[in-house]
């Protein structure tokens, strides 16, 4: 990389740190190309970005951001995973680390809060943002459905009473 490419990389990472809500720091020492390709595919499917970064350049990009606390994790061959959905990056990284022992979680950050490996694992067990939205929508719609059912029940009962009365009048007239 020449100086211009390095400046562009630092500017790109700084923009990422300004826009994202979650960053996971990993170490991928000894992974094969096939393993890294599979990891990138899984990350992409979950809406997570994954980039191997030179520590010196990543440290420059971290300066002055809310993720500055993860600077201590940037030792050795590190890679960064980030996403807008805080759970997605942690979930994919933890799931992949379970199946590949060469992929090691170092920690992460959720906003200004620095997370240990256990914190990232705990975050990965939470439901995703989309599933939480679906649950909230279901909770909002459920009372409306119940109210409509309650309001329709008396009308249905009245209709059955009138039908029974009409049937009894027909039977008396016959």
Residues 42 and 116 grouped into a single domain: yes
**Whether 79 contacts 28, CB under 8 Å:** yes
Residues 11 and 59 grouped into a single domain: yes
Q: What is the pLDDT of residue 31?
A: 87
Closest alpha carbon to 17 in 64, 52, 54:
64
What is the domain-level CATH number for residue 91?
3.30.70.1730
pTM for this predicted structure: 0.68
Residues of the chain with pLDDT under 70: 142, 144-159, 174
Please tell me the distance from the alpha carbon of residue 146 to that of residue 149, in angstroms, as a whole number: 5
Please tell me the distance from the alpha carbon of residue 133 to that of residue 114, in angstroms, as a whole number: 26
Residues 22 and 102 grouped into a single domain: yes
Residues 168 and 135 grouped into a single domain: yes
Angle, to 10 degrees, between the axis of helix 86-99 and the axis of helix 117-124? 110
Partners of 110 in the β-ladder: 22, 113
- Residues 82-96: tens digit of each pLDDT: 988 878 888 999 999
For residue 42, give its domain range. 3-126
């Amino acid at each position: 990389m020449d100086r211009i490419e390095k400046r562009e990389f630092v500017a790109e990472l700084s923009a990422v740190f300004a826009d994202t809500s979650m960053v996971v720091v990993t170490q991928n020492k000894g992974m094969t190309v096939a393993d890294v390709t599979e990891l990138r595919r899984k990350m992409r499917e979950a809406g997570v970005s994954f980039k191997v970064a030179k520590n010196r350049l990543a440290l420059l990009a971290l300066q002055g951001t809310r993720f500055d606390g993860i600077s201590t994790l940037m030792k050795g061959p590190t890679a960064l995973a980030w996403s807008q959905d805080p759970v997605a990056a942690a979930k994919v990284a933890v799931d992949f680390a379970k199946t590949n022992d060469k992929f090691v979680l170092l920690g992460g950050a959720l906003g200004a809060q620095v997370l240990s490996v256990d914190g990232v694992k705990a975050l990965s067990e939470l439901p995703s943002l989309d599933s939480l939205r679906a649950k909230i929508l279901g909770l909002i719609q459920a009372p409306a459905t119940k109210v409509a059912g309650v309001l329709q029940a008396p009308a249905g009962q009245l209709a059955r009473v009138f039908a029974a009365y009409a049937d009894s009048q027909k039977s008396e007239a016959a």
